Amino acid sequence: MQEKKISLQPEYINAVKKYTEAYGVAHARAPRAFVQTFGCQQNEADSERLAGLAKSMGYELTDTPESAQLIIVNTCAVREHAEKKTLSVIGQYKHIKAEDPELIIAVCGCMVGQEHRRNELKMRYPYVDFTFPPASPQMLPKLLSERLAGGRRVFVPGEERPPICEDIPVHRESKHRAWVSVMYGCNNFCTYCIVPYVRGRERSRAPEDIIAEVRGLAEAGVRDITLLGQNVNSYGKNTDFDCDFSTLLRRVSEVDGDFRLRFMTSHPKDATFALIDAIAECDKVAKHLHLPVQSGSDRILERMNRHYSVESYMEKLDYLRARVPDAAVTSDIIVGFPGETEEDFLATLDILRRARYDRIFSFIYSPRRGTPAAEMEDQIAGEVKSERFARLIELQNEITLEKNRELVGKTFRVLCDGVSRTNEKYLEGRTEHDRIVIFEGEGIAIGDTVELEITKADTFNLFGKILEK
């Protein structure tokens, strides 16, 4: 099956350009666009395309909403808390609009992929001009040009299989790191997850389009490229590309250039031995695998509709450790899933001891309206969830500290990301295992690669000294 592909519509882009040019004449400067992102890497990648589009239509980018003539809020729906936070931020824009009635406020992303949130914005946020679904930046020119022309407020629902648009300009936040989406949507319907309901069915970009984008990035000097998808291991399924994800990884790593290749997110049921072989055999591919296990209990994994068992999961981890002994492994864990007993939770603690992850991203289960798990009867009490969450973190911190201490004295190539977030006197960067190292680095610039020896480790940080630039 061939994915539906569409192109940008120049008539709408030109209509907006007319407005931005006229604004420029009237105000002796271009109108400004503020793009705000909540949520995951996929949303960050979508926002880079929204920013690229706004610039191509004549807007300058600004990092303050107060100075903008166009505000685009790219939202997340992964947890109730994230949505509430986003709605309170949008609420604050009421005052900016009161100051400048010409301001356009657009909301997109997963939160507005849900009908009840679109209705809420329509009824209770009259200063929001339009909304459009996630992964659909190509809709912006039409909606913006129609609203600028005095059109009514619009709240666009999501589609089952939104088309793929390849010719969208991208404004990248970083010069040395880049996101490259390889697929959109998800068909897995894990019972706790809202993504399949808001991002639609899986659609894979054509391999040649992905390779062309990576080649362009490599030629532009980008040093670290992450291939993105809700479940990258489903790449190429139901297409006539004859290219699954491990093949794509090999083909992309053949592109000329000095860059590291990463990918996220993998689903354990679709992560293959062929993928692990590609990690082991392709020099450019980072020796790191993020493999979300979510729970250590087969009973809970079944209630989550995850389609793998703890044993099949561990089999893949053991194979990875055999093929790539120093690979870093990270995971996601949900605590307090409906029906989780103390025994189930102890099984989760057990898989932490067996898997010995470098680090985990852990979450307290949050019911998502519209998902099957939210309707399950045996919801766990808040204090039980918090108590289990604390025990989980305590155990994982012990493991992470032990693993970090094993790295003292070892040397790694580190790509400098800039000033350390924990101490401005230092720089920080990532190893090919996606471990963050803090170091002193006079004369070292963002994007430089340095050889470092690990001199000290604690639970959350590695510290190093430069051996050579």
**Binding residues for ligand SF4, per CB under 6 A?**
186, 188-190, 193, 195-196, 230-231, 267
The partner residues of 329 in beta bridges, in order of sequence, read 289
DSSP alpha helix (H) spans, 100-206: 115-124, 140-148, 195-199
Residue 317: how many other CB atoms lie within 10 Å: 23
Residue 453: how many other CB atoms lie within 10 Å: 16
> What DSSP line would sit under 315-359, residue for residue?
HHHHHHHHH-TT-EEEEEEEES-TT--HHHHHHHHHHHHHH--SE
Q: Classify each residue of 112-141 as buried b or exposed e, where b means 16 or more C-beta atoms within 10 Å of its C-beta.
A: bbbeebbebbeeebebbbbbbbbbbbbbbb
CB of 372 to ligand SF4, least distance (A): 11
Look at the chain and count its residues: 469
> Exposed (0-12), middle (13-18) or buried (19+): which is 384, by Cβ within 10 Å?
middle
Q: Which helix (H) or strand (E) holds 456?
A: strand 449-457
DSSP alpha helix (H) spans, 28-99: 41-56, 80-99
> What DSSP line would sit under 364-410, residue for residue?
E----TTSGGGG-S-PPPHHHHHHHHHHHHHHHHHHHHHHHHTTTT-
CA separation for the pair 241, 206 (Å, rounded):
7
CA separation for the pair 137, 134 (Å, rounded):
8
What helix, strand, coil percent values describe the chain, rounded to 5?
40, 20, 40
* Nearer of residues 188 and 459 to ligand SF4, judged by Cβ: 188
**Which of 389, 299, 391 is CA-nearest to residue 338?**
299
- N-to-C CA span, the chain: 49
Those residues with Cβ within 8 angstroms of residue 371's Cβ, 6 or more apart along the chain or in another chain = 191, 192, 193, 194, 197
